[in-house]
Each structure stands twice: as structure tokens, then as C-alpha cells.
Amino acid sequence: MRKEEIREYFIRVQESEKVSHAYIIEEESGQEAEALAGEFAARLECEKGTGCGTCHSCLAYASGNHPDIIRVRHEKPDSIGVDEIRRQLVDDITIRPYSSPYKVYLVPEAEKLTVQAQNALLKTLEEPPYYGVILLLTANAGKLLSTILSRSVLLKLTEEEQEERLLPEEDRQLFLSLLRQARSLTVTQMADGAKALKERKVPAGAAAALARVYFRDVLVVKSTGKRELLRMPEEYKGYGEWAEAASYAKLHRILEEVDGMERRILSNVNYELAAELLLMAMKA
């Protein structure tokens, strides 16, 4: 998702009062992710609900002194330890907000959380207080436990170029038809679809980009129902069917399998096998 799309997504979930307890923003540099997370935190706490920049809450955030927006820090450059995450987040979140509707926690470099720290955080994610919002900012969401991924909304910040549009239209429609119908395909139909992709030499990168956009749009529909936030609004009907049939955890697993398909093909693993594994993950 592009920066503006994530910004609009955050605005919509706030306006629709469908704010989740945990978000993961993945971006290689981390700079834009932290800026987006900060904007979202400020909007959530803003007295006008807009991130106006002039109310007491916004001024407190701008000064770095907002009591209910906490930035988790760590001493060691290469890791965030269990004691740090317990002291600054797990224990602190049990205390109600000081003056705001939410307590928002920003965790930059979340890929540096140790396994013990992640397990401590997981307990909070399993039973979060109604006012708690945790924003995990990371260069590599793959370093986080699958149980954390399944309890969070994953937003992947990408470059402006829309690689999914690079596919020739006939190849694009072939792959989209497989994505739409994956839940009802037989094993034979999966094999035939994977074979067709290989025979048409559909590039792995462009196919994976198309699948990522498709299922992130499904997540947007499931979270907000807002058509105007979609990258491919023409697929809205199919998104709604997927959103109704699949849990958040299921959709995140599919996105993980999309990355897996791309890695397998680029590593010269059999193209048909990699594509078929992706389709099987969608049906499972």
C-alpha cells in the first residue's frame, strides 16, 4: 500500500470506530512508517478527532510529552528485551489513559523484539484493554511470531510504482480468476491453473504484487467496508465474499504464502508447485 492509502485507511477506521488493537506497518527504511503511525496516534487522541495540530492533545504530542502516546525505547542497539517491553508496554497498558480515549504505543524497529519480548507482548494482544492500540513498526514483519501477525492488521508500505499493473491484461485476468475462485477450486483445477501460469510465463514478482494488492484490499473491505480505499475497486464484490468467508488470521497466512510463492520461484523451485501451494493455502 502506498503512503496515502495507509493514511486514508487510518482515517476511515477511526471515523467508522473500527480501530483495531494492533497494527504492523512494514517498511524498509522505517521513516515513513513512523510518521504515519505518529499521525494516526495524534488523530486518535485529538480533541477534534482530526489531528488538528492546535488542541491541547496535539500540542502535547508535538512536544513529545503526551502522556497517552508512548514510544517504546531500547538500550541495546540490536534487540528489544523482555524487561523493556514489560516495563514500557505490558505493565503500563494496564493503567487507564490519563486524559485521552486511547493509550497508543509506538514500537519502532519491532523486528528487534526478542522471542521472550514477543511472547510477553502476545499475552497483551490476546486480551487487550478496550483503550489500547499498539503500532509495531518494522523493516521485516517476517521476524515477528506468526501468533502476533495473526492478531494484528498488517500494512505493507510500498513504492509508488504499481507492479501488479505490469502484467499483460490476459495474464492479469487469468491470475485474478484464480484468486477469486480459489476457495472452490478442485485439486485438478488448481494444477491446471498453476500450469497455465507457467506456460504463459507470468512473472513471479508481478503475480505476487497482484496477489498482495488483492488480499490487502480484502483486508480493507473486512476492516472498513470502504470501496474508496481500494487499489482495485472493480474487484469489490469478490473482496466482500472473501472478507465474509476468511478470518483476519487466514488472510494474513495467505499473504505470507504469497511471499513464499515469490521466494520459491525466484529460488528456481518448480513454478507450478509454488503456484499450486499458494492456491492450496487459499482453499485450506
- Average pLDDT of 246-272? 81
On the question of pLDDT at 103 being above 50, the answer is: yes
Is 156 in a helix, a strand, or coil? strand
Q: Are 254 and 283 in contact (CB under 8 A)?
A: no
Q: Cell for 44?
A: 486518535
> For 137-169, how does the pLDDT look when each residue is reduced to its tens digit (9 = 90+)?
999 999 999 999 999 999 988 754 455 556 788
Residues contacting residue 139 through CB under 8 Å, at least 6 positions apart:
26, 27, 28, 29, 30, 109, 111
Pairwise CA distance, residues 229 & 8, whole Å: 7
Is 165 in a helix, a strand, or coil? helix
CA separation, residue 182 to residues 194, 196, 238, 259 (Å): 12, 15, 11, 17
- Average pLDDT of 233-249? 89
Q: At 70, is the pLDDT very low, low, confident or very high (cuts 50, 70, 90)? A: very high
